[in-house]
Amino acid sequence: MPRKPRFYVPGAPVHAVQRGHNRSAVFFDDLDYLEYLRCLKQAADGCGCAVHAYVLMTNHVHLLLSPERADSVGRLFQSLGRHYVRHINETYQRHGGLWEGRHRCNVIESQTYLLSCMRYIELNPVRASMVDHPAKYRWSSYAANALGVSNAVLTAHPEYFALGRLPDDRQSVYRGLFDGESDFEELALLHSALQTGTPLGNQQFKEEIEATLQLKVGFARRGRPRKQ
């Protein structure tokens, strides 16, 4: 399925992934992860993006963002490209680009899929068999969202606040989202929507997006992928 043209709607969360060139590593040392997070915080503040969840894997990153403006996400990745790539090139005496083309992304409807997307992102190290629980992976937002560890990069989304009146309540409910086996169909839907740039949401969300953009964008459907 071909990728759809990228678009953003102010206030609508965006799930984005960026991979290293030829899937090569983009982090080589703990200091690199820390520098990326510093650059991410700077870019998010400067470009008008709220970061709700992230995971920094060896050769790619996942981000869940809410943009203030239609150009906020694009500007954030441009800023990361300038500052983080410069850090890597200067630190390791290399030249050229670091990332594999442009980032992939899709818009999601928050009420139905935001928490599922956060879970999808923070479980990446578990699915990659790097750890057996997301709490054991240092370079993700799980410790903040599930355990209350302070994290200046993150801004909580209203759907997260709705999990409970007090922080301990919210964290407890959030941890419960990670109990049990993952829903195969939901994983496939989140993955397919991201890879193709397909908006993910209910019928009302579809209508609102298409009315805002004044075009038909198509939407992902729940269910197992059809056999080829």
Residue 63, classified by CB atoms within 10 Å of its CB into exposed (0-12), middle (13-18) or buried (19+), is buried
Assigned superfamily of 14-213? Transposase IS200-like (3.30.70.1290)
Backbone angles phi, psi at 153, to 5 degrees: -70, -30
Q: What is the pLDDT along the chain (228 residues), one digit of tens a residue?
A: 455 566 788 899 999 999 999 889 999 999 999 999 999 999 999 999 999 999 999 999 999 999 999 999 999 999 999 999 999 999 999 988 899 888 999 999 988 899 999 999 999 999 999 999 999 999 999 999 999 999 999 999 999 999 999 999 999 999 999 998 777 888 899 998 898 888 888 777 877 777 777 666 665 555 443 343
**Helix (H) or strand (E) segment spanning residue 83:** helix 72-92
Query: What does the alpha-carbon distance between residue 12 and residue 112 come to, in Å, rounded to a whole number?
Result: 12
Q: Are 194 and 108 in contact (CB under 8 A)?
A: no
**Helix (H) or strand (E) segment spanning residue 33:** helix 30-47
Distances (CA, A) of 14 to 9, 66, 104, 141: 9, 6, 10, 16
DSSP state of 6: P
Closest by CA to 113, choosing from 58, 194, 55, is 194
